[in-house]
Structure 1
Amino acid sequence: MSSETTAPAEPLQYDDGYGPEIGVGPHPEPWPEDGRYDPELLAHGDRRNVVDRYRYWTREAIVADLDTRRHDFHVAVENWSHDFNIGSVVRTANAFLAKEIHIVGQRRWNRRGAMVTDRYQHVRHHPDTEALTSWAATEELPIIGIDNLPGSVPLETTVLPRRCVLLFGQEGPGLTEEARRHASRVCSIAQFGSTRSLNAGAAAAIAMHAWISRHARIEDL
Protein backbone atom coordinates (compact mmCIF):
# COMPACT_ATOMS: atom_id res chain seq x y z
CA MET A 1 0.00 0.00 0.00
CA SER A 2 1.38 3.38 -0.99
CA SER A 3 1.99 6.01 1.68
CA GLU A 4 0.13 8.56 -0.46
CA THR A 5 -3.17 6.93 0.56
CA THR A 6 -2.62 7.56 4.25
CA ALA A 7 -3.32 10.48 6.51
CA PRO A 8 -0.51 12.70 7.83
CA ALA A 9 0.96 11.70 11.15
CA GLU A 10 3.32 13.03 13.75
CA PRO A 11 6.87 12.06 12.68
CA LEU A 12 8.62 9.25 14.55
CA GLN A 13 11.86 7.32 14.04
CA TYR A 14 13.05 3.74 13.79
CA ASP A 15 12.64 1.64 16.91
CA ASP A 16 16.37 1.76 17.60
CA GLY A 17 16.87 5.47 16.91
CA TYR A 18 18.63 5.10 13.58
CA GLY A 19 17.80 6.86 10.35
CA PRO A 20 15.44 9.58 9.16
CA GLU A 21 11.80 9.94 10.00
CA ILE A 22 9.88 7.24 8.17
CA GLY A 23 6.54 5.56 7.88
CA VAL A 24 2.90 6.53 7.69
CA GLY A 25 0.31 7.83 10.10
CA PRO A 26 -3.07 6.37 11.10
CA HIS A 27 -4.97 4.80 8.22
CA PRO A 28 -8.01 6.83 7.11
CA GLU A 29 -11.35 5.15 7.70
CA PRO A 30 -12.92 2.94 6.58
CA TRP A 31 -10.17 0.47 7.39
CA PRO A 32 -9.44 -2.41 5.02
CA GLU A 33 -11.22 -5.64 5.93
CA ASP A 34 -8.30 -8.01 5.65
CA GLY A 35 -6.86 -10.30 8.31
CA ARG A 36 -3.31 -9.30 7.35
CA TYR A 37 -3.77 -5.82 8.82
CA ASP A 38 -2.95 -4.94 12.43
CA PRO A 39 -5.69 -2.85 14.11
CA GLU A 40 -3.13 -1.12 16.35
CA LEU A 41 -1.07 -0.01 13.35
CA LEU A 42 -4.15 1.10 11.44
CA ALA A 43 -5.18 3.21 14.41
CA HIS A 44 -1.83 4.71 15.36
CA GLY A 45 0.34 4.56 12.25
CA ASP A 46 3.15 2.32 11.04
CA ARG A 47 6.71 3.57 11.63
CA ARG A 48 8.50 0.27 11.07
CA ASN A 49 11.41 -0.26 8.72
CA VAL A 50 9.35 -2.10 6.07
CA VAL A 51 8.61 -1.46 2.40
CA ASP A 52 5.33 0.24 1.52
CA ARG A 53 3.58 -2.96 0.40
CA TYR A 54 3.71 -4.19 4.02
CA ARG A 55 2.43 -1.04 5.71
CA TYR A 56 -0.05 -1.84 8.48
CA TRP A 57 0.44 -5.61 8.08
CA THR A 58 1.10 -7.76 11.12
CA ARG A 59 4.59 -9.16 11.47
CA GLU A 60 3.21 -12.68 11.06
CA ALA A 61 1.50 -11.73 7.79
CA ILE A 62 4.70 -10.18 6.45
CA VAL A 63 6.75 -13.26 7.31
CA ALA A 64 4.15 -15.53 5.70
CA ASP A 65 4.23 -13.51 2.49
CA LEU A 66 8.04 -13.44 2.42
CA ASP A 67 8.04 -17.21 2.88
CA THR A 68 6.32 -17.58 -0.49
CA ARG A 69 9.16 -15.74 -2.25
CA ARG A 70 12.39 -16.51 -0.39
CA HIS A 71 15.47 -17.25 -2.44
CA ASP A 72 17.39 -20.53 -2.41
CA PHE A 73 20.56 -19.30 -0.72
CA HIS A 74 21.23 -19.39 3.01
CA VAL A 75 23.54 -17.07 4.92
CA ALA A 76 25.76 -18.36 7.73
CA VAL A 77 28.06 -16.22 9.86
CA GLU A 78 30.54 -17.24 12.54
CA ASN A 79 29.94 -15.68 15.95
CA TRP A 80 32.85 -16.28 18.30
CA SER A 81 33.41 -12.79 19.73
CA HIS A 82 30.04 -10.99 19.50
CA ASP A 83 31.04 -9.24 16.27
CA PHE A 84 28.92 -6.12 15.72
CA ASN A 85 29.03 -6.71 11.94
CA ILE A 86 26.68 -9.69 12.25
CA GLY A 87 23.71 -7.34 12.46
CA SER A 88 24.71 -5.75 9.18
CA VAL A 89 25.00 -9.18 7.54
CA VAL A 90 21.53 -10.08 8.79
CA ARG A 91 20.06 -6.84 7.49
CA THR A 92 21.55 -7.49 4.05
CA ALA A 93 20.28 -11.08 4.10
CA ASN A 94 16.80 -9.68 4.68
CA ALA A 95 17.19 -7.16 1.85
CA PHE A 96 18.13 -9.96 -0.57
CA LEU A 97 15.54 -12.35 0.96
CA ALA A 98 17.81 -15.22 2.00
CA LYS A 99 16.05 -18.47 2.84
CA GLU A 100 17.48 -18.62 6.36
CA ILE A 101 20.19 -17.05 8.49
CA HIS A 102 22.51 -19.31 10.48
CA ILE A 103 24.47 -18.12 13.49
CA VAL A 104 27.48 -20.37 14.12
CA GLY A 105 29.07 -20.31 17.59
CA GLN A 106 27.66 -18.22 20.40
CA ARG A 107 23.88 -18.10 20.45
CA ARG A 108 23.71 -14.43 21.43
CA TRP A 109 24.72 -11.96 18.74
CA ASN A 110 24.76 -8.18 18.37
CA ARG A 111 21.39 -7.30 16.85
CA ARG A 112 21.79 -3.53 16.73
CA GLY A 113 22.98 -3.38 13.14
CA ALA A 114 20.12 -5.62 11.99
CA MET A 115 17.65 -2.73 12.43
CA VAL A 116 15.02 -5.27 13.60
CA THR A 117 15.06 -7.02 10.22
CA ASP A 118 15.78 -10.32 12.00
CA ARG A 119 12.12 -10.33 13.04
CA TYR A 120 11.20 -11.09 9.43
CA GLN A 121 13.81 -13.81 8.85
CA HIS A 122 14.17 -17.40 10.00
CA VAL A 123 17.27 -17.52 12.21
CA ARG A 124 18.84 -20.87 13.09
CA HIS A 125 21.68 -21.48 15.58
CA HIS A 126 24.52 -24.02 15.27
CA PRO A 127 26.99 -24.50 18.13
CA ASP A 128 29.92 -25.00 15.74
CA THR A 129 30.84 -25.34 12.07
CA GLU A 130 30.59 -29.12 12.20
CA ALA A 131 26.94 -28.81 13.22
CA LEU A 132 26.30 -26.38 10.36
CA THR A 133 28.00 -28.78 7.95
CA SER A 134 25.92 -31.71 9.18
CA TRP A 135 22.72 -29.73 8.72
CA ALA A 136 23.77 -28.54 5.24
CA ALA A 137 24.58 -32.12 4.21
CA THR A 138 21.09 -33.31 5.12
CA GLU A 139 19.69 -30.49 2.95
CA GLU A 140 22.18 -31.23 0.13
CA LEU A 141 23.46 -27.66 0.30
CA PRO A 142 27.10 -26.89 -0.55
CA ILE A 143 28.84 -24.44 1.79
CA ILE A 144 30.60 -21.60 -0.02
CA GLY A 145 33.06 -19.70 2.16
CA ILE A 146 33.75 -16.05 1.39
CA ASP A 147 37.24 -14.85 2.29
CA ASN A 148 40.42 -13.67 0.58
CA LEU A 149 42.59 -16.68 1.38
CA PRO A 150 45.38 -18.53 -0.42
CA GLY A 151 43.77 -21.02 -2.77
CA SER A 152 40.45 -19.19 -2.98
CA VAL A 153 38.78 -18.69 -6.35
CA PRO A 154 37.56 -15.30 -7.62
CA LEU A 155 33.91 -14.65 -6.84
CA GLU A 156 33.73 -12.56 -10.00
CA THR A 157 34.37 -15.60 -12.23
CA THR A 158 32.50 -18.15 -10.10
CA VAL A 159 28.94 -19.24 -10.79
CA LEU A 160 27.40 -19.64 -7.35
CA PRO A 161 25.03 -22.62 -7.01
CA ARG A 162 21.35 -21.74 -6.85
CA ARG A 163 21.00 -23.75 -3.65
CA CYS A 164 23.87 -23.06 -1.28
CA VAL A 165 25.03 -21.68 2.06
CA LEU A 166 27.19 -18.56 1.92
CA LEU A 167 29.47 -18.70 4.96
CA PHE A 168 31.14 -15.59 6.37
CA GLY A 169 33.76 -15.20 9.08
CA GLN A 170 34.16 -12.44 11.61
CA GLU A 171 35.64 -9.01 11.16
CA GLY A 172 39.44 -9.26 11.36
CA PRO A 173 40.25 -12.98 11.49
CA GLY A 174 37.81 -13.97 8.77
CA LEU A 175 36.84 -17.61 8.36
CA THR A 176 38.20 -19.96 10.99
CA GLU A 177 40.37 -22.89 9.98
CA GLU A 178 37.49 -25.22 10.77
CA ALA A 179 35.17 -23.28 8.48
CA ARG A 180 37.71 -23.46 5.65
CA ARG A 181 37.94 -27.22 6.01
CA HIS A 182 34.18 -27.68 5.86
CA ALA A 183 33.57 -25.35 2.91
CA SER A 184 33.26 -26.99 -0.50
CA ARG A 185 35.03 -23.96 -1.91
CA VAL A 186 36.17 -20.52 -0.78
CA CYS A 187 35.61 -17.49 -2.98
CA SER A 188 37.60 -14.26 -2.81
CA ILE A 189 36.45 -10.75 -3.69
CA ALA A 190 38.71 -8.80 -6.04
CA GLN A 191 40.34 -5.78 -4.39
CA PHE A 192 42.55 -3.18 -6.06
CA GLY A 193 43.56 -0.84 -3.26
CA SER A 194 46.01 -1.02 -0.37
CA THR A 195 43.72 -2.52 2.29
CA ARG A 196 44.16 -6.20 3.11
CA SER A 197 40.46 -6.97 3.50
CA LEU A 198 36.94 -5.61 3.20
CA ASN A 199 34.61 -4.95 6.10
CA ALA A 200 32.76 -8.21 6.85
CA GLY A 201 29.38 -6.60 6.29
CA ALA A 202 30.46 -5.19 2.93
CA ALA A 203 31.92 -8.52 1.82
CA ALA A 204 28.67 -10.27 2.70
CA ALA A 205 26.65 -7.75 0.69
CA ILE A 206 28.86 -8.22 -2.36
CA ALA A 207 28.63 -12.01 -2.19
CA MET A 208 24.85 -12.01 -1.76
CA HIS A 209 24.44 -9.61 -4.64
CA ALA A 210 26.58 -11.90 -6.79
CA TRP A 211 24.00 -14.63 -6.13
CA ILE A 212 21.15 -12.19 -6.86
CA SER A 213 22.73 -11.08 -10.14
CA ARG A 214 22.90 -14.69 -11.30
CA HIS A 215 19.67 -16.25 -10.01
CA ALA A 216 17.05 -13.70 -8.89
CA ARG A 217 14.12 -12.66 -11.04
CA ILE A 218 14.35 -8.88 -11.04
CA GLU A 219 10.99 -8.63 -12.80
CA ASP A 220 9.37 -10.05 -9.65
CA LEU A 221 10.16 -6.89 -7.66
Structure 2
Amino acid sequence: MKISSFGLSTAEIREELAPLRSDFSIAICRAKNPFNIGAIIRTAHSFLAKEIFLIGSEPYYERAAMGMQKYENIVEHPDEATFLAAVAGRHLIGVERDHARQTLWESPFPSGLVFLFGSENDGLSPELLVACHDVIAIPMYGINHSYPVAIAAGMIMCEWARRKDPRARA
Protein backbone atom coordinates (compact mmCIF):
# COMPACT_ATOMS: atom_id res chain seq x y z
CA MET A 1 0.00 0.00 0.00
CA LYS A 2 1.37 3.36 -0.96
CA ILE A 3 0.59 6.64 0.79
CA SER A 4 0.53 9.66 -1.50
CA SER A 5 2.80 12.33 -0.08
CA PHE A 6 1.43 15.11 -2.26
CA GLY A 7 0.36 18.05 -0.13
CA LEU A 8 1.09 16.33 3.20
CA SER A 9 3.65 17.42 5.76
CA THR A 10 6.20 14.97 7.12
CA ALA A 11 4.21 14.77 10.38
CA GLU A 12 1.00 14.02 8.46
CA ILE A 13 2.71 11.28 6.44
CA ARG A 14 4.12 9.72 9.63
CA GLU A 15 0.63 9.83 11.13
CA GLU A 16 -0.85 8.10 8.06
CA LEU A 17 1.85 5.40 8.18
CA ALA A 18 1.59 4.69 11.94
CA PRO A 19 -1.38 2.28 11.80
CA LEU A 20 0.15 0.47 8.82
CA ARG A 21 3.43 -0.35 10.58
CA SER A 22 4.59 -3.95 10.65
CA ASP A 23 5.01 -5.99 13.82
CA PHE A 24 8.82 -6.19 13.79
CA SER A 25 11.75 -3.89 14.40
CA ILE A 26 15.31 -3.74 13.11
CA ALA A 27 18.45 -3.09 15.16
CA ILE A 28 21.78 -2.24 13.55
CA CYS A 29 24.80 -2.50 15.83
CA ARG A 30 27.94 -0.63 14.94
CA ALA A 31 27.77 -1.09 11.17
CA LYS A 32 30.87 0.60 9.80
CA ASN A 33 29.64 1.57 6.35
CA PRO A 34 27.27 4.56 6.48
CA PHE A 35 25.84 3.54 3.10
CA ASN A 36 24.76 0.15 4.51
CA ILE A 37 22.95 1.79 7.42
CA GLY A 38 21.17 4.19 5.07
CA ALA A 39 20.21 1.33 2.74
CA ILE A 40 18.78 -0.67 5.66
CA ILE A 41 16.74 2.36 6.77
CA ARG A 42 15.36 2.72 3.25
CA THR A 43 14.52 -0.98 3.05
CA ALA A 44 12.97 -0.97 6.54
CA HIS A 45 10.75 1.87 5.36
CA SER A 46 9.61 -0.24 2.41
CA PHE A 47 8.45 -2.91 4.88
CA LEU A 48 7.19 -0.28 7.38
CA ALA A 49 9.23 -1.65 10.28
CA LYS A 50 7.88 -0.57 13.66
CA GLU A 51 11.18 1.10 14.51
CA ILE A 52 14.86 1.08 13.62
CA PHE A 53 17.35 0.94 16.46
CA LEU A 54 20.84 2.28 15.81
CA ILE A 55 23.31 1.01 18.40
CA GLY A 56 26.58 2.93 18.64
CA SER A 57 27.65 6.29 17.30
CA GLU A 58 28.27 5.32 13.67
CA PRO A 59 26.61 7.75 11.25
CA TYR A 60 24.36 6.80 8.37
CA TYR A 61 24.43 8.17 4.86
CA GLU A 62 21.19 10.08 4.34
CA ARG A 63 21.41 9.86 0.53
CA ALA A 64 21.38 6.06 0.81
CA ALA A 65 18.21 6.31 2.92
CA MET A 66 16.71 8.39 0.08
CA GLY A 67 14.92 10.65 2.56
CA MET A 68 13.03 7.77 4.17
CA GLN A 69 14.68 8.39 7.55
CA LYS A 70 12.35 11.33 8.13
CA TYR A 71 9.33 9.00 8.00
CA GLU A 72 10.82 6.32 10.25
CA ASN A 73 10.95 5.78 13.98
CA ILE A 74 14.71 5.82 14.42
CA VAL A 75 15.82 5.23 18.00
CA GLU A 76 19.50 5.75 18.79
CA HIS A 77 21.30 4.01 21.66
CA PRO A 78 24.92 4.73 22.57
CA ASP A 79 25.65 1.11 23.48
CA GLU A 80 24.31 -2.41 23.80
CA ALA A 81 23.28 -2.04 27.45
CA THR A 82 20.91 0.87 26.82
CA PHE A 83 19.46 -0.90 23.78
CA LEU A 84 18.85 -4.10 25.74
CA ALA A 85 17.17 -2.16 28.54
CA ALA A 86 14.87 -0.47 26.01
CA VAL A 87 13.79 -3.76 24.37
CA ALA A 88 13.52 -5.84 27.55
CA GLY A 89 10.81 -8.45 27.16
CA ARG A 90 10.86 -8.43 23.36
CA HIS A 91 11.95 -11.43 21.31
CA LEU A 92 15.43 -10.80 19.83
CA ILE A 93 16.62 -12.65 16.74
CA GLY A 94 20.23 -12.14 15.78
CA VAL A 95 21.25 -12.60 12.17
CA GLU A 96 24.75 -14.03 12.35
CA ARG A 97 26.11 -16.92 10.32
CA ASP A 98 28.98 -17.96 12.58
CA HIS A 99 26.85 -18.26 15.72
CA ALA A 100 23.59 -19.46 14.15
CA ARG A 101 21.45 -21.99 15.96
CA GLN A 102 19.19 -22.51 12.96
CA THR A 103 18.48 -21.13 9.51
CA LEU A 104 16.10 -18.44 8.41
CA TRP A 105 13.77 -21.16 7.07
CA GLU A 106 13.44 -22.90 10.46
CA SER A 107 13.16 -19.95 12.83
CA PRO A 108 9.74 -18.87 14.09
CA PHE A 109 8.98 -15.16 13.94
CA PRO A 110 6.94 -14.30 17.05
CA SER A 111 5.01 -11.04 17.32
CA GLY A 112 6.91 -7.92 18.28
CA LEU A 113 10.34 -9.32 17.47
CA VAL A 114 13.52 -7.35 16.86
CA PHE A 115 15.96 -8.52 14.19
CA LEU A 116 19.57 -7.65 15.11
CA PHE A 117 22.32 -7.04 12.58
CA GLY A 118 25.96 -6.47 13.51
CA SER A 119 28.89 -4.75 11.89
CA GLU A 120 30.29 -5.90 8.58
CA ASN A 121 33.58 -7.00 10.17
CA ASP A 122 32.71 -8.12 13.67
CA GLY A 123 29.09 -9.23 13.47
CA LEU A 124 27.05 -9.00 16.67
CA SER A 125 28.79 -8.30 19.95
CA PRO A 126 29.01 -11.10 22.54
CA GLU A 127 26.63 -9.11 24.78
CA LEU A 128 23.95 -9.06 22.07
CA LEU A 129 24.49 -12.70 21.09
CA VAL A 130 23.87 -13.81 24.68
CA ALA A 131 20.69 -11.70 24.84
CA CYS A 132 19.23 -13.18 21.62
CA HIS A 133 16.42 -15.69 21.93
CA ASP A 134 17.56 -17.10 18.62
CA VAL A 135 20.43 -16.57 16.19
CA ILE A 136 19.75 -17.41 12.59
CA ALA A 137 21.72 -17.71 9.38
CA ILE A 138 20.59 -17.12 5.83
CA PRO A 139 21.51 -20.16 3.73
CA MET A 140 24.42 -19.55 1.37
CA TYR A 141 25.87 -21.43 -1.56
CA GLY A 142 29.34 -21.05 -2.98
CA ILE A 143 32.52 -19.99 -1.25
CA ASN A 144 31.49 -16.52 -0.05
CA HIS A 145 31.35 -16.32 3.75
CA SER A 146 28.64 -13.70 4.23
CA TYR A 147 26.09 -11.46 2.59
CA PRO A 148 26.45 -7.68 2.66
CA VAL A 149 24.55 -6.54 5.76
CA ALA A 150 22.10 -4.39 3.78
CA ILE A 151 21.27 -7.34 1.51
CA ALA A 152 20.87 -9.70 4.49
CA ALA A 153 18.50 -7.24 6.17
CA GLY A 154 16.42 -7.02 3.00
CA MET A 155 16.19 -10.80 2.73
CA ILE A 156 15.12 -11.12 6.37
CA MET A 157 12.42 -8.46 5.99
CA CYS A 158 11.19 -10.06 2.79
CA GLU A 159 10.88 -13.44 4.50
CA TRP A 160 9.04 -11.81 7.41
CA ALA A 161 6.55 -10.27 4.95
CA ARG A 162 6.13 -13.55 3.07
CA ARG A 163 5.21 -15.35 6.28
CA LYS A 164 3.41 -12.77 8.35
CA ASP A 165 2.00 -9.91 6.33
CA PRO A 166 -1.40 -10.46 4.73
CA ARG A 167 -0.67 -7.47 2.45
CA ALA A 168 2.12 -9.54 0.86
CA ARG A 169 -0.47 -11.95 -0.49
CA ALA A 170 -2.62 -9.28 -2.11
Instruction: Compute the TM-score of the two structures, normalised by the length of structure 2.
Output: 0.90
Match of 2:39 in 1: 88
Query: Matches of residues 110-129 of structure 1 in structure 2 within 5 Å?
Result: 110-129=61-80
Matches of 1:170 and 1:208, distance apart in 2: 18
Bigger drift between 148-157 and 92-101 goes to 148-157
2:136 paired with 1:209: no
Q: For 2:52, which of 80, 101, 126 is the aligned residue?
A: 101
* 1:151–1:121 Cα change, 3 Å: closer
Instruction: Map Cα deviations across residues 117-161 of structure 1 (whole Å, 9 max, x no partner).
Output: 000001111111121111111xx3111111102343101121211
Per-residue deviation, 1:184: 1.5
> Where does 1:6-25 land on structure 2 (aligned, <5 Å)?
none
Gaps of 5+ in 2: none
* Local SS of the residue matching 1:214: helix
- Partners of 2:168 and 2:95 lie apart in 1 by 28
On the 8 A contact 1:159/1:214 being kept in 2, the answer is no
SS at 1:84 equivalent: helix
Larger Rg: 1
Q: CA RMSD in A?
A: 1.9
Maintained 8 Å contact 1:88/1:114: yes
| 1:150 corresponding residue in structure 2 | 99
Bigger mean CA deviation after superposition, 144-153 or 196-205: 144-153
Q: What percentage of aligned pairs have identical amino acids?
A: 29
Match of 2:147 among 190, 198, 205: 198
Q: Determine helix, strand or coil for the equivalent of 1:150.
A: coil
Secondary structure of 2:152's counterpart equals: helix
**Structure 2 match to 1:69:** 20
Q: Name the residue aligned to 2:8.
A: 57
Which amino acid in 2 is paired with 1:74? S
Q: Does 1:183 align with 2:132?
A: yes
Shift in Å at residue 74 of structure 1? 0.8
Q: Give the partner amino acid of 1:165.
A: V
TM (norm. structure 1) is: 0.71
Residues 152 and 99 of structure 1, relative CA distance in 2, 3 Å threshold: same
1:193 offset after TM fit, Å? 1.6
- 5+ residue gaps, structure 1: 1-50
Q: Is the 8 A contact 2:24 2:49 kept in 1?
A: yes
Distance in 2 (alpha carbons) for counterparts of 1:126 and 1:120: 19
8 Å CA contact retained: 1:146, 1:188: yes
Instruction: Find the aligned partners of 1:219 and 1:212 in 2 and give their Cα distance.
Output: 6
Instruction: Give the equivalent residue in structure 1 for 2:111.
Output: 162
